[in-house]
Structure 1
Amino acid sequence: MFIINLTYKTELKKVDQFLNDHIEFLNEQYELGNFLVSGRKIPRTGGIIVSKVSDKTELEKIINKDPFRINELANYELTEFIPGKTCHELKYLLEE
């Protein structure tokens, strides 16, 4: 499991130009079962995605399809972790 920490490296005006494409990318990854939760940071300097993809190389391939990555709008930091405790609902999702 990974936490993906996106940090914008350009102004929000440019990020917003690709926001709909980024949301489509996220929707596809949710449908494929790769992402569990995502959202904006406050203040809006980037975003966070939690992924249940277990292979870092595979996750990097997925991230390379993100319009924010393709258009060089954000830096991506991947932090791998093993969940020790979860709520019941998340435990169910992790077992799929």
Structure 2
Amino acid sequence: MFIVSLTYTAPLSDVDALLPAHAAWLQQAYADGLFLASGRKVPRDGGVILARGERAALEARLAQDPFAKGGVARYDIIEFAPSMVAPGLESLQQA
């Protein structure tokens, strides 16, 4: 499992111009089963994505993000293996 931390590298006006395309990109990743959760950081200086799957596939998908293509965000990927989860999230747990 992965935590992807996006940090904006451009003014919010540049980020906002790409937001509709970014949202469509997110929706496709959810439909493909790669993303589990996503949202804005508070304060709004980037975002966070919770993802599963293979790292190479995740990296390839992130490269297709309109934010990446537009040069408005940097991506940091943290891999972790959840050993404990809250009730209802057992499908995220790894042995």
Q: Same fold (TM over 0.5)?
A: yes
Give the Cα–Cα distance (whole angstroms) in 2 for the partners of residues 13 and 94 of structure 1. 38
Q: What displacement does 1:56 show?
A: 1.5
Q: What displacement does 1:91 show?
A: 1.9
Tell me the percent identity. 39
TM-score scaled by length of structure 1: 0.91
Question: In the alignment, is residue 68 of structure 1 matched against residue 64 of structure 2?
Answer: no
Aligned residue in 2 for 1:32: 32
Q: What displacement does 1:93 show?
A: 5.8
Question: In the alignment, is residue 22 of structure 1 matched against residue 22 of structure 2?
Answer: yes
**Gapped runs of 5+ residues in structure 2?**
none
Q: What displacement does 1:14 show?
A: 0.6
- Residues 29 and 35 of structure 1 are in contact (CA less than 8 Å); yes or no, is this contact kept in structure 2? yes
**Gapped runs of 5+ residues in structure 1?**
none
Question: In the alignment, is residue 83 of structure 1 matched against residue 82 of structure 2?
Answer: yes
2:5 maps to amino acid: N
Question: In the alignment, is residue 2 of structure 1 matched against residue 5 of structure 2?
Answer: no
TM-score scaled by length of structure 2: 0.92
Q: What is the aligned residue count?
A: 94
